[in-house]
């Protein structure tokens, strides 16, 4: 695969951009450094004794000694300056190590800062040192997938982006199977129930890069399968737009009533300001869950009184109702304890879920912690909820669809759960699934790297 140009890569980053963008570094932080030493609970929601002491004696795999476990954490922080994945790694490993580690082995996180364009370099470094990858993500993650499979690194990512990596072998995605439409239930609710008059004129706008264009093409197929008519489909330059007026005028002239936006929430807020200034109100705008931030509320400003902005959290429990959910309340408490100056984001919560899965799976292996044991343990999770942090996710199959969604609405007072008629606590589950029929590329397999499951030891 060819490396994307820096301009095209910006749109890929935009697709992932979330959080407030505080400066971050690529240094490895010792787990638990500076953390308070008072007693902490080893439970997380309904997960019991996530971490704790033990007396391991063996060094059964690369990156595993009787004292420690080396884990790689991918991030684009050197480019984006967004430390949300580093924060998640710090909070989880500090908490776990204060409890005694994983059956007595302390976790040593190694931040693999790609600086956006150095995915392969960081993957090759990880292949030489780490036992597994956990809690990370990179906008151009597909550039390192073949190398990861070649060195048989299990991957527990916060999120996946490029087609070669999404749903690739030895991976446990937190966002559902790659060949299924992830927002089918959510878009169906918007077009058929919340705003039934909108399905005759839906629009899609995306950043102009290979990454976002694939997402837009899949969205078009999904929307059409739901009976939606895509009347407007456009791209905006990845390097940014100085004046969104032409886009707003096109949306108005096409009579778009529902708009799916694939890009950064800063750009969306500017587009909405123009739409509002020309007095054009859509029925709904899918801001995508990267906009699920206080910063979007602030930037969108008065537009939120005029436009209806929604986001699908894909079964992640909302932060604003944390008091209703022990797991969400717990993660807020842990952030307050170990990273009090850091913001907790939806990507951070996905990352924490990945860390929990890694830790629970590794703990089942005891002294004989190998990659095969780790992988086999994680693959047994048929209804993973991260202790209640998210709706159940079937990880026993590498390509299982999401079963639940939950919609949030942006208001001048912040994000709030929308009236989407949940049927399973805060989620709506059991909606019809849709498997893509278009050709968008395929995730890489072990065979693509000249390996098989027999090589995993």
Question: In order of start, what are the domains of the chain with their CATH numbers?
Answer: 25-178+324-395 (3.40.50.2300), 184-313+403-429 (3.40.50.2300)
pLDDT value at residue 175:
87
Rounded to 5°, angle at Cα 3 from 209 and 132: 105
CB 62 within 8 A of CB 306: no
pLDDT at 21: 31
pLDDT tens-place string over residues 327-353: 999 999 999 999 999 999 999 999 999
Measuring CA to CA, how many Å separate 231 from each of 217, 252, 282?
Answer: 14, 11, 13
Q: Are 52 and 99 in contact (CB under 8 A)?
A: yes
| pLDDT band with cut points at 50, 70 and 90 for residue 37 | very low
Q: Rounded CA gap, 353 and 290, in Å?
A: 17
Q: How confident is the model at residue 22 (pLDDT cuts 50, 70, 90)?
A: very low
- Residue 360: pLDDT band (50, 70, 90) is very high
């Amino acid at each position: 695969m060819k490396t994307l140009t820096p301009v095209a890569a910006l749109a890929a980053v935009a697709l992932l951009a979330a959080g407030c963008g505080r400066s971050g570094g690529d240094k490895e932080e010792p787990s638990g450094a500076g953390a308070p030493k008072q007693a902490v609970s080893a439970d997380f929601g309904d997960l019991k004794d996530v971490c704790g002491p033990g007396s391991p004696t063996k060094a059964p795999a690369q990156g595993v000694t009787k004292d420690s476990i080396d884990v790689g954490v991918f991030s684009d922080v050197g480019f984006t300056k967004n430390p949300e994945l580093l924060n998640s790694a710090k909070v989880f490993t500090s908490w776990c190590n204060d409890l005694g580690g994983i059956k007595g082995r302390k976790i040593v996180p190694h931040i693999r800062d790609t600086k956006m364009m150095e995915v392969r370099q960081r993957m090759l470094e990880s292949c030489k040192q780490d036992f597994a990858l956990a809690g990370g993500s990179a906008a151009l993650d597909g550039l390192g997938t073949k190398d990861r499979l070649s060195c048989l690194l299990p991957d527990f990512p916060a999120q996946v982006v490029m087609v070669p990596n999404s749903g690739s072998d030895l991976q446990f995605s937190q966002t559902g199977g790659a060949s299924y439409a992830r927002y089918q239930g959510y878009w169906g609710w918007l077009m058929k129930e919340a705003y039934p008059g909108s399905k005759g004129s839906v629009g899609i706008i995306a950043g102009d890069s290979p990454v976002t264009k694939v997402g837009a093409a899949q969205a078009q197929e999904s929307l059409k399968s739901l009976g939606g008519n895509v009347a407007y489909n456009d791209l905006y330059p990845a390097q940014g737009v100085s004046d969104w007026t032409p886009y707003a005028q096109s949306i108005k002239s096409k009579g778009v009533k529902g708009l799916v936006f694939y890009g950064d929430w800063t750009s969306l807020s500017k587009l909405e300001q123009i739409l509002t200034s020309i007095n054009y109100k859509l029925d709904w705008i899918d801001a995508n869950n990267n906009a699920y931030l206080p910063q979007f509320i602030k930037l969108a400003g008065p537009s939120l009184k005029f436009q209806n902005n929604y986001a699908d959290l894909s079964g992640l429990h909302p932060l604003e109702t944390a008091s209703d959910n022990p797991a969400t309340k717990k993660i807020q408490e842990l952030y307050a304890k170990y990273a009090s100056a850091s913001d907790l984001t939806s990507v951070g919560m996905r990352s924490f879920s990945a860390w929990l899965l890694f830790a629970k799976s590794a703990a089942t292996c005891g002294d004989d912690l190998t990659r095969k044991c780790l992988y086999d343990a994680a693959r047994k999770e048929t209804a993973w909820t991260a202790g209640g942090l998210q709706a159940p996710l079937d990880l026993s199959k590498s390509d299982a669809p999401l079963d639940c969604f939950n919609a949030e609405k942006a208001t001048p007072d912040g994000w709030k759960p929308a009236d989407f008629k949940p049927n399973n606590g805060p989620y709506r589950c059991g909606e019809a699934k849709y498997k893509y029929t278009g050709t968008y590329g395929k995730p890489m397999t072990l065979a693509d790297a000249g390996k098989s499951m027999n090589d995993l030891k």
